Chain A
Amino acid sequence: MRNRFSLFALALLLSAPVAAHASAPDHYTLVLKDGKFSPPTLALPANAKIKLIIKNETAVPAEFESSDLDREQVVAAHDFITVYLGPLDPGVYNYFNDFNRKMTGKITVK
């Protein structure tokens, strides 16, 4: 009980997004919209299995590609894909849309 209370206090002390992470979400989401990925930098925990959902909210097909993550997967227009990652080592992992390489983003693993 005490433990939970102090966790709660800690969560309050820190900002909201950190609090969201403290509760270990079941998946993370990247959205491709208006010509860019959001969030532009996604923070993920190290050494954990991660379920990542990539949504393509544009009208054209996209391809999520990352040599750092060794992934290359097509996402149809107005559709989503599920990608399992990890356990990942801490670091920065870049990715892009192979069908429009101006659309890039990064994942930071801590």
Chain B
Amino acid sequence: MLAALVIVFRETMEAGLVIGIVLAATKGIAGRGFWVSAGILGGVLGASLVAVFTHEISHALAGMGQEVFSAAVLSLAVIMLIGHNVWMSRHGREMAAKMKAVGADVVAGKCSFLALAVVVGVSVLREGSEVVLFLYGISLAGGHGAASMFIGGASGVALGGATAALLYLGLLRIPTRHLFKVTGMLLALLAAGMAAQAVAFLQQAQVVTILTRSIWNTSALLSQHSILGQALHTLIGYTDKPNGLQLIVYAATLAVIYILMRLFGKTAPARKTA
């Protein structure tokens, strides 16, 4: 039972952390409960589909289907995160001031939160498909051992949910006028980490074959596969043996977000005072 709990918790924790940040980043927004729930539900459905089609995905693209699929959904999440951050750079101040649906820009706001719903969906899908397969395996084994494993699995999901709640409540302690700045930074780091992970999958699939050597190894200091290492891996993209291309893509993603936010963020205050 404990083994099942640990395995399922490890998988759901990552999605839980992303959900916690997204909830904080949408504090006070009308209808965010709907968007986040839709993201989770879509993620669970997607995870079940991925689990059912494991064989097909594995053998697609000359056996590299799993890697390319992971890279693709991660890239989608990165684009959504960049889009949301750029939108927030225009409207964050307004939102912090009013803490309500942002009047005239409510449609654009919806797009931005649809983007975050996609990010939640991708996180749930990536981790969820493994949980589905694991629990399916247990159910095949049958017997009363299976029942206790299921209890372990359910507790693991509950703990993942608790992680989301803890991170969310922790972030809410930040004063409102700083909250969106902090969640914006967290989402940017999340995007950079996901981009680096996506490129690592493309390297594993031999789609990209340059700069594959690890630049450093901090696995003795903090293993990426310890609970803390895994949490940091999700939150800021911590990798204990990053290779050259991962580091470049990580830095480039942060740079792109920063530049786009500066470019598109400037006009908002001017327009507001007009």
A84 to B133, CA, bound (A): 23
Q: Are B54 and A76 in contact (CB under 8 A)?
A: yes
A98 to B1, CA, bound (A): 15
Residues of B within 8 Å of A67, CB to CB, are: 219, 223-225, 240
Task: Judge whether A38 is part of the interface by a CB distance below 8 angstroms.
Answer: no
Task: Judge whether B38 is part of the interface by a CB distance below 8 angstroms.
Answer: no
Task: Judge whether A2 is part of the interface by a CB distance below 8 angstroms.
Answer: no
Number of A-B contacts (CB under 8 A): 58
- Say how far A97's CB is from chain B's closest CB, in angstroms: 10
Q: Are B134 and A75 in contact (CB under 8 A)?
A: no
* Tally of chain B residues near chain A (CB < 8 A): 27
Task: Judge whether B269 is part of the interface by a CB distance below 8 angstroms.
Answer: no
The segment out of A5-13, A16-24, A57-65 that lies at the interface is A57-65
* Nearest B residue (CB) for A83: B204
A99 to B134, CA, bound (A): 6
Task: Judge whether B137 is part of the interface by a CB distance below 8 angstroms.
Answer: yes
Task: Judge whether B117 is part of the interface by a CB distance below 8 angstroms.
Answer: no
Given A73-B66, A76-B55, answer yes or no on A98-B136 (Cβ-Cβ < 8 Å): no
Consensus secondary structure, chain B interface: helix
Residues of A within 8 Å of B210, CB to CB, are: none
Q: Are B200 and A70 in contact (CB under 8 A)?
A: yes
Residues of A within 8 Å of B200, CB to CB, are: 70
Given A67-B219, A67-B224, A74-B54, answer yes or no on A81-B63 (Cβ-Cβ < 8 Å): yes
Give A contacts to B, CB under 8 Å.
59-63, 67, 70-71, 73-77, 79-84, 98-99, 101
A-B contact pairs, 29 of them (CB 8 A): A60-B136, A60-B140, A61-B136, A62-B137, A63-B130, A63-B134, A67-B224, A67-B225, A67-B240, A70-B200, A70-B241, A74-B54, A74-B66, A74-B129, A74-B130, A74-B133, A76-B55, A76-B58, A77-B137, A81-B58, A81-B63, A81-B66, A82-B62, A83-B204, A84-B206, A98-B7, A99-B133, A99-B134, A101-B7
Closest A-B pairs by Cβ, 8 of them: A82-B63, A60-B137, A67-B225, A61-B133, A76-B54, A76-B55, A61-B137, A99-B134
Give B contacts to A, CB under 8 Å.
3, 7, 54-55, 58, 62-64, 66, 129-130, 133-134, 136-137, 140-141, 200, 204-206, 219, 223-225, 240-241
